[in-house]
Amino acid sequence: MDKNSKRKRRHLRVRKKVFGTPERPRVNVSRSANNIYVQIIDDLSGHTLVSASSLEPAIKDIVGYGGNKEGARKIGEILAERALEKGIKEVVFDRGGYKYHGRVKEVAEALRDKGLVF
C-alpha cells in the first residue's frame, strides 16, 4: 500500500465525522508537491462556496510558489478574506488525511489569524 492510498483511507475515516453545514461549512485542504488547493464546502447542498489555489493566475503573482509554507500561509489568508466577504465566520477543518504540520498547519493558522473560527 503506497502513501497516497493510506492518506485516502485516513481521509475517509475523518470524513465520517467531519461534515459541513450551511452554518459551519467544511474547509478542505488538498496539496501536491508544487501547489496547494483550499475550498470551503457546504456538504448538504454539495456546493463549493469559496476556493483558493496556488494555480489561479491572480494568486500566482502574489504567492509565487505554492509548494512551501509561505505560499500555503498566503493561500490561507486569501481564502479567509474571501470567506469573510461571503459572511462565513465559522467552519470545520478537514485536513484531507494529511498530517497536521507543515503546509496544512500553515493554512489552518492563517485562517485562524484572519478571523475564521474552528
Largest CA distance in the chain: 42
Tens-place pLDDT, residues 34-66? 999 999 999 999 999 999 999 999 888 888 888
Residue 4 lies in a domain: no
Q: Using alpha carbons, select from 78, 57, 75 the residue that is nearest to residue 67.
A: 75
Q: Residue 65: which CATH number?
A: 3.30.420.100
**By residue range, what is the domain housing residue 71?**
21-113
Residue 55 lies in a domain: yes
Does residue 86 lie within any of the structural domains? yes
Query: Are 29 and 95 in contact, with CB atoms under 8 Å apart?
Result: yes
Residues in the chain, pLDDT under 50 = none
Domains identified in the chain, total number? 1
What is this structure's pTM?
A: 0.90
